[in-house]
Structure 1
Amino acid sequence: SFNDLVQEGRVDGLLIASARPGHPLLTALNSGAVPHVFLNRSVEGSGRNVTMDVARSSVTALDHLHSLGHRAVGHIAGPPGITPSEVRKEAFLRHADTLGLAAAPVASGDFTEDGGGSAARELLRPPAGGARPPVTALYTSSLAQAIGAMAAIRDLGLRIPEDVSVVGNDDLPVAAHLHPPLTTVAMPLYELGTAAVDALVATIEGRPVGDVVVPTEPRLVLRGSTARPAGPGGTP
């Protein structure tokens, strides 16, 4: 068990990426017996959080979709209580309001293909008497959710991107091999990992660390899953 490893002195340091509050590991670490840093999550008052500006990913995704002409954009968030997802969701809602979007509904799901699929079906449920889906684009909180959302869109008889555009958060090589290839917001994961390791080494050596925010901006990786919306002002 973790406690056994600690007591035996076999753990020099920990990078903790668990995003769930109240994790039992946090209680075990309160003793300060093991040097540790929190990666891509924040524990208030710990002074050892290594994070990135995840709110900017929502701004980047929405700006792209808005520039294409989308005015009703849905967001697939992660499960409640997971800090990066909550930050992305709040940033999505704020920026949607700033841009004056006609609709910006949110549905939550697990960070899985099934979670993304069920949330997409909720957001794309046609309004009563309406032939068009209520949103013309989806922005997902994870890549796995985007994959599930794309499958759900096809199951509904809709086309990507002609009927619904999709943007996924984070970029992995598989995104380029989907059908169509998925537009993503690439976060500075390499820089995040490097900063976290540097902070952990400093902590192990007893040097002061403090919270670290990786300054690199998100990067839009433009592929085939986004296009202008169909209808007035868009292409069929």
Structure 2
Amino acid sequence: MSPFIMIPGSSATANRFDDLVKTINHQYGEHHSLLKMTVHTDGKITSSGNIRPNDDRPFIVVGFENNKDGYANIKKQAAWFDIAFNKLKAKYRFNNFNAFGHSNGGLVWTYFLENYFDDSTIIVNQMLTVGTPYNFEEKNTSNRTQMLNDLIKKRDKIPTDLTYYSIAGTQLYTDDGIVPLGSVDAGKYVYEGHIKHCTLITLTGSKAQHSDMIANNQFINIFHQYIVGNGINGSVPTKPIKKGPDEE
């Protein structure tokens, strides 16, 4: 099995990606199962959906009862995610997977990789995040939050063979309505120069807003090509990033 493990952002539940999975299955004529797990504050897990027998490429969504924003909560969510991840690998015995996170879900993934993921027998093939605010609401990358500094400090714990795609939504190349482009771009300080491959992609136009991006047609194409297809169908359609005078 090589599952797609997905983490939603703040205020979102394990149902967040229902439409995305339906679209992938319908648009590409595929039949991926969908298992949804919610980790509660006491560490117990409830789930819905299932993985069909012989489905070696299922979607698995892990959400949290406490899905609030903030660095303190992101650290708690990473610990809760570790509980779910350990249960998944014990039950399904996979040795590789693909990771996806929307918004703070990408921060949970990063904190998890740095602080909990220490299993050398499991490979993270590709990771894709959308609208992940590595520097929270800061536009100026010179003003680094405590979270960004912490993530940079422990970046050597991230698997070096990881291929990572970070997608930013833009309105006039400034933000996605919530997260500044500079905050998404700040992920380069965590990943670039340490992992095998790191690419920032910008989405513009219709449905490039923070909450709408996972329904954006360009995003769906990228998601299918680089997560479902493991990047086997060509190069990512990228757009140039315009940097302001206060950005490095």
TM-score by length of structure 1 reads 0.39
By relative contact order (CA 8 Å, sep 6+), the higher-ranking structure is 1
Structure with the higher fraction of residues in strand conformation: 2
Structure with the higher fraction of residues in helix conformation: 1
- Larger gyration radius, structure 1 or structure 2: 1
